[in-house]
Structures are given as C-alpha cells and as structure tokens.
Structure 1
Amino acid sequence: MATYDLKGKRALITGGASGIGLGAVQAFLRCGASVAVNDLADDRLTAVVDELASAGHAVVAAPGDVGNPEQAPAMVAQAIAALGGLDYLVNNAGTPGTARPIATDDFERQDEDFWQLLVNVNLVGPHRCTRAAAEALRATGGAIVNTTSIAAFRGGGSSAVYCATKAGLVSLTREWARALAPQVRVNAIAPGLVDSDWMCRFDGQDDAVRMGQPVPLGRTGTPTDYGEAILFLAAGAAYVTGQTLNVDGGLTT
C-alpha cells in the first residue's frame, strides 16, 4: 500500500459506510487524514463512524442522500464546517436501483421511475456535491475522485441506465477537470467486479467468486483495492486530471 502524509488534510467520502466507499475511508484515515463519512442516515453509518472513532481516527458522520436536492448541498456544507475545510471530495455514492443485479438487455422492465432514480443518484448526485464543494476545494488546491464503472465502457453486468449514468460520470469527470483547473484536479476510477454484499446477491458468494474467473488477475476486486486507487488519484497523482482509471484486474484488457 502506498503511504502519503495526509495529516492536516480533510476528505469527504460519499457512500462511505460500506463497500468501495468504506475502503476509501480506511485508506485516507490510514494516511492521517480527517474524514467525513457520508451515507444515508441509518444505523450502519453510525456504527461505522463509532467504530473508526473508537480506534482513534479523526472521523465524523455526514448523513444525507445525495439524490435529494436539499440534503446533498446541506450535507457538504455540514462536512466542510465539521472538518474546517476540504481537500478531497470522493463522489462514490451510487445505486444500481435494484436489490439484485439485472441484465442490460432487460430494458423493458426499466420504467421511467427507475431511470429517474439512477440518473438522480448516480449522475445528478455527484454534480450536487461537486458544486457545493467547489469553492472549498479551490481554496485548498484540492482534488475530486469519482467512482464510475467499467460498465460505462463495455455495458453489461447491470441495467442499461446504470451503464448510461456511469458513462455520463466519465464525461463529467473530463468537463469538471477543465472547469476547475488549475486549482482542482478531477479524476475517476472505473471499478470492475467488486467483492461486496451486493455482488453476493447474484446467488451467493460462490457465484461472485465464479464471476472473477475471467479476470486476468483471477479474482474480484476488494474495497481495499479500490480505496487505494482512489487515494492514489486524490493524493499522489499530481499531474493527472480528467482521467478515468480502470481498476478491474485486467478485465477490460
């Protein structure tokens, strides 16, 4: 694992109470940053923040729904106030829209309400957070990292609208990089298969493991794998902006 000296640095990570987001939270904390953990206001967020705080980390909860036009900017403002500024924003919160994965070609089940949900959370949500955080990030010369997906490039593995929203976030990454330069760098990771609770809903852990077999590195990615990639783009890639890094074990090679 790469190590950066992030003492005195402050990060807001959306969707940070589980999966890739929690992997990013742990990566930033490991390097000494103070972290505001955003997720929906529920017991899971409270438990995660309490556990990390009890381990001596500088961490605060920033509950709120990025899909809500009032909650998202208020959550960002709360996080900035609690941290005393902001150096890094990780737009990780997102939704597949279903409790279980559905096929891209099953588009006839994907009504307009389903489309609106995914667009609102996966695409407009990051816009809300980025817009609310832009001034604070300019002041510190900060960085933004978005979590998109290899589905943005190859489709499959989820609904058509999920793929479309993740492709849109790739485009926003490029546009924000231009708009916020030179003060703020903006990049993204495109995760491949993720060893997570949601992946296991295919039909259990065995199926999730089998999905990793075509991956050249022979396994699914872990939240730690993805969290470390996010950390690199935020803290270590000083001359990189507007780019999307595929983190997929070679799946798209």
Structure 2
Amino acid sequence: MGGYDLSGRAALVTGGARGLGAGMAEALAKAGAAVVIADIREDLGRATADALKQTGATAAFVPLDVTDDASWEQAVTATLAELGGLDIVVNNAGVEISGLVADLDPADVRRMLDVNVLGTALGIKHAFRAMRPGGAAGHGGAVVNIASVAATIAFPGIAGYSATKSAVDRLTRVAAMEAGKLGYGVRVNCVYPGLVPTEMGNQLATDVVRLGLFPSVEDAIGAVVGQTPAGRLGEVTDMADAVVFLASDAARFVTGAGLPVDGGMGM
C-alpha cells in the first residue's frame, strides 16, 4: 500500500461505534493499524470492535465520553494497555441538532458545543500529551479531526452545527501550529465531509423538512446533490479513505490543513 501502509501503528477513533466512525476504523484497520473504538455506546462499540477482529484486525473497545476530561485520560490509558502505543487519534464523535435561528434552543447549542468543540479539543489535548516527547507513547503521530462541509457553506437549519464545525477547523489550525512550535512531532489536520446518508445524515434531511425548509426529504437531498458538482451524496468510504491518507506517511508534510471531501459542494 506504499505511503498508506499503517502497519505497526495504533489508532483511536472516537464515535467509532457506527456510521462514519465505524467506517474510518475499518479503513484504518485495512491499512494495517491496530484500532480502538472509543464511544459512549458500549454494546454497539464492542460489537463493532468484534466485527473488526473477525476480519483479522487487531481491535478493541474502550468507553469514552468525549466531553469528560477524566474519561479521556482513562480511554488513552486503556488504549495504551490494549495496543501498546498511540500514533493516530481521529476525533470523529459529533452531534447535529437542527433548528432555526429564530427558534434557537440554548440547551441544543450547548450540547453541540460540548460534543463537537470541547470533545475535539480534549481529544487533541490528550493526543498531544500521549504522543509528544516524554509522553506515554512519545513517538509523535497524527490527529485527524472531523469537521463538516457545514463549516464552509450556508445551509438552512444547521446554524449551531455549522458554528461548532467551523470551530473544529480553527482548533485544528492552532493545534497544528502549537505542535510544530513545541516540537511535538504531531501533525493535526481536519476533513470536511459532505452529506453522507448515515443515521445522522438521514435525520438532517428529515429535520429540515420538519422545520418547513423543504417540502420533502427527496427535495432536501436533491438540494444537496444540486449544490454538489460531483452530482451525488458522499459515501462512508470517501471519508474513511481521506482519514487514512491524512494519518499516513503520504501526508507527512501536511499539517494545519482542512481537506474537503464533499464532491465540490463547499467550493
């Protein structure tokens, strides 16, 4: 696999129990990495890890609430014990709660801030502490944060989500600068996925209809496809392959970057 060979590397994927996270974990494992699924959904997370093991991959599950600092400490400690190292952290866990700005619910926005922004920030923090010289892993590595095309476009009904994913972009760039300046040996990048028909993506289409923004789910999806030069929705593998690239030596001189994987929607 050349530059995409991740053999001998250990990865932690947050929100890895299902959807994009599960696909990213699978792609990392196929590239040769040992993978920990970190998620708040224990039964589903263990099942996803077990499914990876059935393919011959080295995989494990650790419980993780990304909004809790102590939970992160425990998850990283458990990952080091399970895999013997930590080279890749994918901050994928996220929530999307649709709503009109005129009807904004503070509790919904706080929830998205907690998971999408604080959860990503804590993930970067604990990746740095483990990977930097003198850390528990101590060999450098790669952090890949999952932002969204929502950070680059104005799509109705997702103002709070868009704001939090824009924050992920800024966190990525500042973290990359700090890692470089302080000699951590850790690259930090983010991906902007387009709309993928996972459970979250399908729920978004339903929500914008409920909010009166589109007459039907088909119209909502058609609007997304109509704004996408590639002429289709994204697929889990599209996003997962981008993560493998950014985690690999093929991206060894890439840091502080945001990679659109959106079929051109955000250009």
TM-score by length of 1: 0.90
Please state if 1:229 is matched with 2:223.
no
Q: Which residue of 2 aligns with 1:133?
A: 127
User: Structure 1: how far apart are the matches of 2:255 and 2:3?
Assistant: 21
User: Structure 2: how far apart are the matches of 1:180 and 1:81?
Assistant: 25
How far did 1:252 drift? 1.9
Q: Which residue of 1 aligns with 2:24?
A: 24
CA contact (8 A) 1:195 1:208 kept: no
User: Structure 1: how far apart are the matches of 2:151 and 2:21?
Assistant: 19
Q: Which residue of 2 aligns with 1:56?
A: 56
How far did 1:29 drift? 0.5
Please state if 1:241 is matched with 2:246.
no
Q: Which residue of 1 aligns with 2:110?
A: 116
Offset from partner CA, 1:96-155 (integer Å, 9 cap, x none): 13xxxx25xx12332222221111110011111221221322221201010001211223
Which moved further from structure 2: 200-209 or 167-176?
A: 200-209
Task: Find the residue that maps to 1:12 and give its secondary structure.
Answer: strand
How far did 1:3 drift? 6.5
Alpha carbons of structure 1 residues 50 and 240: separation in structure 2 relative to 1, 3 Å: same
User: Structure 1: how far apart are the matches of 2:55 and 2:157?
Assistant: 37
Identity of aligned residues (%): 37
How far did 1:22 drift? 1.4
Which amino acid is 1:225 matched to?
Answer: D
Please state if 1:252 is matched with 2:254.
no
How far did 1:5 drift? 2.0
Offset from partner CA, 1:168-193 (integer Å, 9 cap, x none): 11011011001111411100001111
Q: Which residue of 2 aligns with 1:144?
A: 143
Which amino acid is 2:123 matched to?
Answer: C
Q: Which residue of 1 aligns with 2:159?
A: 160
CA RMSD of aligned residues (A): 2.0
CA contact (8 A) 1:76 1:129 kept: no
Task: Find the residue that maps to 1:90 and give its secondary structure.
Answer: strand
Count of residues paired in the alignment: 247
Which amino acid is 2:93 matched to?
Answer: A
User: Structure 1: how far apart are the matches of 2:176 and 2:89?
Assistant: 13
Q: Which residue of 1 aligns with 2:201?
A: 199
User: Structure 2: how far apart are the matches of 1:81 and 1:128?
Assistant: 20
Which amino acid is 2:41 matched to?
Answer: A
Task: Find the residue that maps to 2:25 and give its secondary structure.
Answer: helix
Q: Which residue of 1 aligns with 2:76?
A: 76
Gaps of 5+ in 2: 133-137, 207-215
User: Structure 2: how far apart are the matches of 1:159 and 1:209?
Assistant: 15
Please state if 1:189 is matched with 2:202.
no
Task: Find the residue that maps to 2:15 and give its secondary structure.
Answer: coil
Alpha carbons of structure 1 residues 49 and 207: separation in structure 2 relative to 1, 3 Å: farther
Alpha carbons of structure 1 residues 81 and 110: separation in structure 2 relative to 1, 3 Å: farther
Task: Find the residue that maps to 1:60 and give its secondary structure.
Answer: strand
Alpha carbons of structure 1 residues 184 and 158: separation in structure 2 relative to 1, 3 Å: farther
TM-score by length of 2: 0.85
CA contact (8 A) 2:177 2:256 kept: yes
